[in-house]
Amino acid sequence: MKLTATTALLALIGSATARKDKPDQRTFAVLRFTNKQLVKTRADPIISPGVAGSHVHTVMGGSGFGLSSTGKDLMASNCSNAMVKGDNSNYWFPSLYFKDPQTGKLEDVELFYANAYYFFEPTNDDIKSFPVGLSIVVGDPNVRTPPKDGASSNLDPSKGPVNPIKWTCPRQNMDIKAYPDNSDGLMAGIADKNNKGEGVGFPDVECDAYGSPLRGDVHFPSCYNPAAGLKNYKENMVFPSDAGDGKQDCPKGYIHVPHLFLEVYWNTLAFKDRWQKGQGTQPFVLSNGDATGYSNHADFMAGWDEDLLQGIIDHCDKGTSGMDQCTGQLKYGLNKGDCTIAPLVDETVNGVLSALPGKNAITGWQYGGSGSAGASGGDNTPPPVNSKASGSDDKPKPSSTQPSTQPTGDDASSVSSNTKLPGVVNVGVNKPANSEETSTTVAAAAKETADDSSAPLALSTGASSCVPKIHTVWETVTVTAEAPEHTNKRRAHEHALRHRNKRH
């Protein structure tokens, strides 16, 4: 028995290399999701709590997401589509639409998949877990002009303007330019001079690499100012600065949290024969009406079990193999089924549309205009009644995660502000993924690009102890491909290395 206990302890300690043992190196792990999305709906509890949001977001994470959700609500989630059980955080970003050049109609673009990279940078600081309820917003939905420094990649404020928003266009033929030469960004995007696979603004060519369509990239700052508070998203976060010896530190009094990076792939190949490439009239539009792509943005609200995340920070360095491979740190195990909730606003956001949900005008580039009108904040009208909503069930399901961490700071004393407005459903259930959904996932898992690639893990189809939900899919348009016989680990490492080196 003593030998068994010792062996188990060694396995726990050695299951992944501890960051504490490598203080001068970056460590990281990729968080993946069990299904495409939690919900697609016009809501943003950080920017416009309590009312319908101005534009549609695609939401990942815990089922506690609502029009006015707080960290306390997320911790009470009945399920999460984050693969690591114990992460009930929400991650959300604007949805993407295709504007048909022939009809002028709009069609939703399917989310191919999304990954959340957790980077633990070399620093003189102690990297701590996200406090429950921490709200972070990156990007500006009103922007229709390029960054001041063009397409340069910089996340270090001591070295110039920070540029956390990029687009990546993996292509079969990388000799085909994604952006016009010498573009100033006013009528087309700008290529990154150091990486021809990415730039700012939407590219004007097909992003057709194997399993890798158009990708939106968003880096989050990792220095939290507790004096500003959890909810003050305009002032509570900054990026760390160069501290010498390859390290980045936060300002005095700030808390160094993980560097979160979202990569979001969109199934743009479903529309590959319906527009002319290289003509300066690319057809994709963000849900806020942006035809340039400059206003891409993302929100994060923390709902982690803080002890669980701290163990991952200190001991998990599995890189692109996935955070789910750090089994010694995952005290709650893994989520293995789909987790979804009903849309919070009763309106059509998918299919063929005459206008964007929220009636956002299309602006930027060939459309002219700016994004200042109605691009952020709520529309100041009560959300329409969701006739499909049957109310909420606040009792946790048997498989729901009940983390030990309680909300702290200004989220701790708040009563749940998830107002029971018509159309709000803040519960969800895990269900096993069906075989048709999995086939698309396997294709996504086989993604490979000419100069930018990582190998995502195929989604699990394991059974869940939650009550299953059946979704009938009448028509699905996807791009599929057979998975390669083996993973090109070298290319996956180079893909992650590029993300980690954005500061230089």
The answer to whether the CB of 222 falls within 8 A of the CB of 256 is yes
* 496 — pLDDT class (breaks 50, 70, 90): low
Is residue 96 a contact partner of residue 285, using CB atoms and an 8 Å limit?
yes
Average pLDDT over residues 238-253: 96
SS (H, E, C) 162-185: CCCEEEECCCCCCCCCCCCCCCCC
pLDDT for residue 370: 78
In this model, does residue 416 exceed pLDDT 70? no
Exposure string of 221-250, with b = 16+ CB inside 10 Å and e = fewer, is bbbbbeeebbbebeebbbbbbeeeeebbbb
Q: For residue 10, with 0-12 CB atoms within 10 Å meaning exposed, 13-18 middle and 19 or more buried, which class applies?
A: exposed
pLDDT tens per residue across span 456-469: 333 333 333 333 33
What letters, b where the CB count within 10 A reaches 16 and e where it falls short, cover 316-347? bbbbbbbbbbbebbbeeebbbbbbbbbbbbbb
Q: Tell me the two tokens of residue 258.
A: 């993980």
Answer yes or no: is pLDDT of 492 > 70: no
The per-residue pLDDT of the chain, averaged, comes to 79
pLDDT number for residue 280: 81
Q: What is the dihedral of CA 488, 491, 497, 499, to 10 degrees?
A: -100
pLDDT at residue 24, rounded to an integer: 78
pLDDT at 281: 85
Euclidean distance between the first and the last CA atom of the chain, given in angstroms as a whole number? 51
Is pLDDT above 90 for 222? yes
β strands within 13-132, DSSP E: 27-31, 39-41, 57-61, 90-94, 96-99, 106-108, 111-120
Of 219, 59, 71, nearest to 154 (Cα)?
219
Across 398-405, average pLDDT: 41
* Three-state DSSP class for residue 221: coil
pLDDT at res. 205: 94
Query: Contact 242/306 with Cβ under 8 angstroms?
Result: no
- What does the pLDDT average to over 379-403? 40
| For range 33-41, the mean pLDDT | 97
pLDDT band at 25 (very low <50, low <70, confident <90, very high): confident
pLDDT of residue 464: 34
Q: What percent of the chain has pLDDT over 70?
A: 69
Q: Is the dihedral of CA 183, 198, 274, 277 positive or negative?
A: positive
Q: Which segment of 64-68, 175-179, 422-426 scores lowest on mean pLDDT?
A: 422-426
Which residues is 91 bridged to in the sheet?
60, 300
Q: Which two tokens stand for residue 136?
A: 């972070």
What would the mean pLDDT of 438-442 be, rounded to a whole number? 31
- Of the two residues 403 and 287, the one the predictor is more confident about is 287
Tens of pLDDT, residue by residue over 279-307, are 888 999 999 999 999 999 999 999 999 99
Q: What is the mean pLDDT of residues 359-366?
A: 96
